[in-house]
């Protein structure tokens, strides 16, 4: 067993780290703890330790000083930093000291588990004992690029970290490709990295789903065609070697604002291999134009379904399916194949929504539904399959929602979303530490508390903007935003346009 020592001045964090993981599954055991750096240093001088998990901001001796001193006692010590501060200077100094990862509180359990697995792999392999080696840099590159592609890091912070890590995307255009080997993934990252890292403006990373993601910057939009050709050649090479792979490619986007859209498009392409398993590459441009699906655009308002899935309302989903597909059926000139394509698209979106909430691969749940849609010969059969898929989706969420506290919190938000809400106030209401409540909430819903409450409030604001004559600042207050400027910022983030422009659309 590798020996782990934990340092944090918050008792709840110390206790929580014992409980949130089964450390033995990682071949680890916690052998000690301390609530400040000086106490930890005294303990470390008397016992062998392989991994140090430490906060940065602590009394007596902070985490960075502790790491420097601990290195003198244990030169090969692996270090994981926990911090409530997402500040560039802390990260920069921590990297110079040599770390496995820099994790922000509240702790994302999946990210901690991934970090521990990587740390154990390094300990097992007894590879380089350098404090600032290539492997550590790749972990930080993965973390930084993934957060940027998913909108979890502001542009100024990304620019600072990118400069430090050697990530240069100084071109006007970009695209993202997601790469997945159909069977064994072993060695795929190293192989892809060797293949593409020599191309100027291309960076390779892992994402949380295990896909290899290629981010490429271009001088001209037309360069995407050459890029797609290279990816096609690569998949053909892999297939010839008996290692078939699948690639999803986004459209061209502008840097930096197009990063999130490009990543989302590449990931969505990966979903369509369930419908087109004989393909090795799917280009989002063909999906958007309808070439891959046979129709011009998904003809159903997905946001209505997404809302009902989150609400876990099976009956309303059934009703929505019937209404939407009866309207499609009654359109002049509609072809049966178009109904089938719309149904296949709806199932893919059910899958993506469920995986977005649970952060797990749910492909097996939807494979049967896709197959049954293809074989449907009557409209009634098609509706029946879609209802069953909707029921399976909601049942999966209901089965997975194991913590009654989170269910109560969700209900409380529905009734009090206009009030001042925070993890601190809700934690006091339900007698839980706010950090622990935040971790539970993220685990059960797939979103941070802040993301969920903002998305919920903006949804309510959209309803009022569409259905009332109230002014924007009045609606902002009605849904819980007392600063109109912040309301505008959040509305643009979740809707893409300002509330004033949205109101003008209704």
User: pLDDT over 70 for what percent of the chain?
Assistant: 91
- From 152, 135, 156, 132, select the one nearest 144 (Cα to Cα): 152
pLDDT tier, 184 (very low <50, low <70, confident <90, very high otherwise): low
pLDDT tens digits, 315-330: 889 999 999 999 888 8
Helix (H) or strand (E) holding 316: helix 314-330
Mean pLDDT (whole number) for 234-244:
87
- pLDDT, residue 131, reads 38
Mean pLDDT (whole number) for 344-348:
89
**139 part of a folded domain:** no
Same domain, 370 and 259: no
**142 part of a folded domain:** no
pLDDT tens digits, 204-228: 888 877 789 999 999 999 999 999 9
pLDDT tier, 179 (very low <50, low <70, confident <90, very high otherwise): very high
Same domain, 205 and 327: no
Same domain, 165 and 195: yes
Can you give the CATH number for the domain in which 465 is found? 1.10.10.60
Is the Cβ–Cβ distance between 205 and 145 less than 8 Å?
yes
Boundary residue ending a domain (90, 111, 132): 132
Same domain, 170 and 119: no
Q: Which residue has the higher pLDDT, 113 or 210?
A: 113
Boundary residue ending a domain (289, 316, 336): 289
Query: Structural domain of residue 230, as residue ranges?
Result: 161-289
> Which region among 133-142, 454-463, 486-495 has the lowest average model confidence (pLDDT)?
133-142
Average pLDDT, the chain: 83
**296 part of a folded domain:** no
User: pLDDT over 90 for what percent of the chain?
Assistant: 23
**203 part of a folded domain:** yes
- pLDDT, residue 362, reads 81
SS3 of 378, please? coil
How many domains, the chain? 4
**148 part of a folded domain:** no
Same domain, 60 and 101: yes
pLDDT tens digits, 242-278: 888 899 999 999 998 899 999 999 998 888 887 677 7
**138 part of a folded domain:** no
pLDDT tens digits, 119-149: 888 887 644 444 345 556 777 788 889 889 9
Same domain, 409 and 454: yes
Same domain, 370 and 339: yes
Q: Which residue has the higher pLDDT, 296 or 219?
A: 219
Same domain, 320 and 247: no
pLDDT tens digits, 400-450: 655 677 878 888 898 899 998 888 889 888 877 788 788 888 877 778 888
Rounded Cα–Cα distance for residues 8 and 17 (Å): 10
SS3 of 187, please? coil
- pLDDT, residue 293, reads 42
The Cα-based distances of 209 to 110, 195, 264, 270 in angstroms read 11, 21, 13, 11
- From 175, 168, 117, select the one nearest 141 (Cα to Cα): 168
DSSP for residue 252: P
Is the Cβ–Cβ distance between 342 and 373 less than 8 Å?
no
- pLDDT, residue 461, reads 92
Residue 186 region, left (φ>0) first, then alpha (ψ -120 to 50), else beta?
beta
Boundary residue ending a domain (375, 400, 425): 400
CB atoms within 10 A of CB 417: 16
**137 part of a folded domain:** no
Same domain, 247 and 311: no
Same domain, 6 and 128: yes
Rounded Cα–Cα distance for residues 143 and 207 (Å): 8
- pLDDT, residue 318, reads 93
Rounded Cα–Cα distance for residues 147 and 152 (Å): 5
Can you give the CATH number for the domain in which 248 is found? 3.30.70.270
Same domain, 258 and 189: yes
**123 part of a folded domain:** yes
Same domain, 412 and 494: yes
- pLDDT, residue 129, reads 44
Please, what is the angle between helix 336-358 and helix 302-311, to 10°? 40
Rounded Cα–Cα distance for residues 330 and 164 (Å): 58
């Amino acid at each position: 067993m590798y020996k782990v020592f934990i340092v944090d001045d918050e008792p709840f964090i110390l206790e929580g780290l014992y409980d949130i993981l089964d450390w033995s599954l990682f071949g680890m055991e916690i052998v000690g703890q301390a609530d400040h750096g000086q106490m930890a240093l005294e303990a470390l001088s008397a016992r062998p330790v392989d991994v140090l998990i430490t906060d940065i901001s602590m009394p007596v001796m902070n985490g960075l000083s502790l790491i420097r001193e601990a290195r003198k006692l244990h030169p090969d010590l692996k270090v994981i930093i926990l911090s409530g501060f997402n500040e560039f200077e802390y990260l920069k100094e921590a990297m110079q000291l040599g770390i496995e990862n820099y994790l922000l509180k509240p702790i994302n359990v999946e990210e901690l588990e991934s970090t521990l697995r990587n740390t154990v792999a390094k300990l097992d392999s007894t590879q380089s004992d350098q404090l600032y080696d290539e492997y550590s840099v790749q972990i930080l590159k993965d973390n930084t690029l993934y957060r940027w592609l998913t909108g979890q890091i502001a542009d100024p912070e990304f620019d600072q970290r990118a400069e430090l890590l050697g990530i240069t995307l100084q071109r006007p255009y970009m695209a993202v490709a997601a790469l997945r080997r159909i069977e064994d993934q072993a060695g795929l990252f190293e192989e892809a990295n060797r293949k593409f890292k020599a191309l100027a403006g291309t960076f390779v990373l892992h994402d949380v789903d295990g896909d290899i993601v290629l981010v490429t910057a271009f001088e001209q939009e037309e360069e995407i065609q050459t890029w797609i050709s290279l990816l096609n050649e690569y998949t053909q090479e892999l297939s010839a070697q008996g290692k078939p792979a699948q690639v999803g490619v986004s459209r061209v986007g502008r840097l930096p604002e197009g990063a999130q859209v490009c990543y989302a498009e590449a990931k969505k392409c990966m979903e369509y291999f369930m419908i087109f398993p004989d393909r090795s590459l799917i280009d989002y441009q063909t999906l958007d134009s309808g070439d891959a699906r046979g129709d011009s655009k998904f003809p159903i308002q997905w946001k209505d379904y997404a809302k009902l899935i989150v609400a876990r309302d099976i009956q309303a989903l059934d009703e929505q399916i019937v209404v939407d597909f009866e309207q499609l059926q009654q359109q002049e000139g509609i072809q049966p194949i178009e109904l089938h394509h719309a149904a296949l698209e709806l199932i893919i979106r059910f899958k993506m929504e469920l995986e977005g909430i649970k952060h797990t691969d749910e492909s097996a749940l939807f494979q049967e539904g896709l197959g049954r849609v293809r074989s449907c010969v009557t409209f009634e059969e098609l509706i029946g399959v879609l209802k069953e898929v909707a029921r399976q989706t909601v049942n999966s969420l209901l089965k997975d929602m194991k913590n009654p506290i989170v269910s109560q919190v969700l209900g409380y938000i529905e009734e009090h979303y206009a009030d001042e809400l925070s993890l601190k106030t809700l934690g006091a209401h339900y007698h839980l530490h706010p950090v622990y409540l935040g971790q539970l909430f993220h685990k059960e819903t797939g979103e941070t508390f802040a993301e969920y409450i903002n998305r919920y409030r903006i949804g309510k604001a959209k309803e009022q903007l569409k259905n009332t004559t109230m002014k924007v600042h009045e609606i902002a207050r009605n849904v819980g935003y007392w600063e109109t400027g912040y309301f505008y910022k959040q509305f643009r983030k979740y809707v893409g346009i300002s509330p004033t422009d949205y109101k003008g659309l209704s």
